[in-house]
């Protein structure tokens, strides 16, 4: 008889959407069989906070911040957790960090099934260097849980990973949470963009496009919500443009109302591995305009293709802005397959492939 897998999820630093995924997994497999761990005790990029410190199934693998390398310390804590809790399946947040590569190698050597979470994709042809990288990545993991079509295509076409080892649907949010304010708050003439204030998010071109669009004359406001290195320069522009608002990161609990009060959402990124804010906005009932560089585009935004634009083209961004407030709301089934429950089912399926793994005891 096949025993229930014991699954460990490891991220840099758990945000609320990580917690929603983990809780959904616990609901399906039983809380004692689903562990979660952070690499660190603090996140100095997004400032995420969790209230998991008293949860018996939660661990921190280091007291250092996420940006600090601590291979030996984190690997040692990882090994102790694997052995003490008889973990049979480990899922790691990619392979970019040396800690994750070391954990994957150790786990495989211990007979533990390894899954890598992959969100990134890169539009490139498959070169010999890509194939070499693919061989190394392939050796690290048994299976791959990817965000969507673009990430899968990157693994298969660029890195040469077998498609049978890949499952789509990693990038999900708690749709119920983000839908809770739908129809309960008054709509405002606001176009919303929730993003880090950094060059790759392309907010400067967004502002330039909004300026020449029809929306300021129609009484619309462009609201930017986030934080980052461009915060000061963006705030300075609010003194120049009365239709521009810049707001600090909103708390997780206030985001549903923030989304629900807007008329549309736009994400103009120069490059975006996925864009979880797209999931959030759709769950909150907003039409979404997005650049062609947003990873979620082929999976979630087919019904809004008329609102896609090349991120470098101000004329195309302007056209999308003009159309956005008048676009239809998302259909109710748009996020089918992209919920924490779907996510948990996929992870559990991956774990059950290797549920009989033997783990050495101390």
- Domain map (residue ranges) of the chain: 7-172+338-352, 175-326
In CATH, the architecture of 7-172+338-352 is 3-Layer(aba) Sandwich (3.40)
Look-up: residue for tokens 């293709």? 305
Cβ-contact 252, 180 below 8 angstroms: no
pLDDT at 207: 98
CA separation for the pair 40, 22 (Å, rounded): 17
pLDDT at 362: 31
Three-class secondary structure of residue 118 per DSSP: strand
User: 67: burial class by Cβ within 10 Å (0-12, 13-18, 19+)?
Assistant: exposed
In CATH, the architecture of 175-326 is 3-Layer(aba) Sandwich (3.40)
Closest-CA residue to 133 (of 110, 161, 113)? 161
pLDDT at 52: 60
CA separation for the pair 132, 153 (Å, rounded): 17
CA separation for the pair 217, 238 (Å, rounded): 17
Please measure the distance between the N-terminal and C-terminal CA atoms of the chain and give it in whole angstroms: 25
CA separation for the pair 195, 226 (Å, rounded): 5
- CB under 8 A, 24+ apart: contacts of 248-253: 249/46, 249/47, 249/225, 250/194, 250/225, 252/16, 252/177
Per-residue pLDDT of the chain (362 residues; tens, 9 = 90+): 467 899 999 999 888 999 999 999 999 999 999 999 999 865 555 455 555 667 899 999 998 887 889 999 999 999 999 999 999 999 999 999 999 999 999 999 999 999 999 998 987 778 989 999 999 999 999 999 999 999 999 999 999 999 999 999 999 999 999 999 999 999 999 999 999 999 999 999 999 999 999 999 999 999 999 999 999 999 999 999 999 999 999 999 999 999 999 999 999 999 999 999 999 999 999 999 999 999 999 999 999 999 999 999 999 999 999 999 999 999 999 999 999 999 999 998 886 654 444 433 33
For residue 236, count other CB atoms closer than 10 A to its CB: 10
């Amino acid at each position: 008889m096949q025993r229930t897998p014991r699954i460990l999820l490891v991220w840099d630093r758990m945000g609320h959407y990580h917690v929603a995924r983990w809780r959904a997994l616990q609901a399906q497999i039983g809380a004692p069989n689903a562990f979660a761990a952070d690499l660190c005790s603090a996140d100095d990029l997004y400032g995420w906070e969790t209230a998991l410190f008293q949860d018996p199934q939660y661990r921190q693998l280091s007291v250092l911040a996420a940006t600090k390398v601590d291979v030996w310390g984190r690997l040692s804590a990882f090994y102790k957790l694997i052995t003490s809790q008889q973990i049979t399946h480990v899922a790691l947040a990619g392979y970019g960090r040396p800690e994750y590569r070391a954990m994957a190698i150790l786990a495989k050597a211990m007979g533990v099934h390894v899954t890598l979470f992959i969100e990134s994709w890169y539009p490139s042809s498959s070169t010999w260097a890509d194939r070499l990288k693919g061989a190394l990545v392939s050796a690290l993991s048994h299976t791959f849980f990817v965000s969507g079509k673009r990430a899968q295509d990157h693994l298969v076409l660029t890195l040469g990973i077998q498609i049978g080892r890949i499952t789509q649907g990693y990038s999900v949010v708690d749709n119920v949470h983000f839908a809770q304010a739908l129809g309960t708050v008054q709509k405002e003439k606001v176009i919303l963009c929730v993003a880090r204030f950094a060059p790759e998010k392309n907010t400067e071109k967004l502002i330039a496009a909004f300026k020449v669009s029809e929306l300021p004359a129609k009484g619309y406001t462009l609201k930017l919500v986030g934080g980052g290195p461009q915060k000061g320069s963006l705030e300075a522009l609010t003194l120049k443009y009365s239709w521009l608002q810049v707001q600090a990161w909103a708390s997780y609990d206030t985001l549903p109302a923030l989304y629900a009060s807007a008329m549309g959402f736009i994400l103009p990124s120069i490059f975006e591995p996925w864009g979880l804010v797209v999931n959030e906005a759709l769950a909150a009932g907003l039409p979404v305009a997005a650049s062609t560089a947003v990873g979620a585009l082929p999976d979630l935004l087919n019904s809004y293709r008329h609102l896609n634009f090349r991120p470098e083209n101000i004329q195309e961004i302007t056209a999308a802005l003009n159309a956005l407030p008048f676009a239809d709301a998302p259909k109710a089934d748009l996020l089918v397959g992209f919920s924490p429950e779907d996510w948990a089912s996929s992870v559990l399926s991956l774990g059950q492939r290797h549920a009989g793994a033997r783990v050495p005891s101390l």
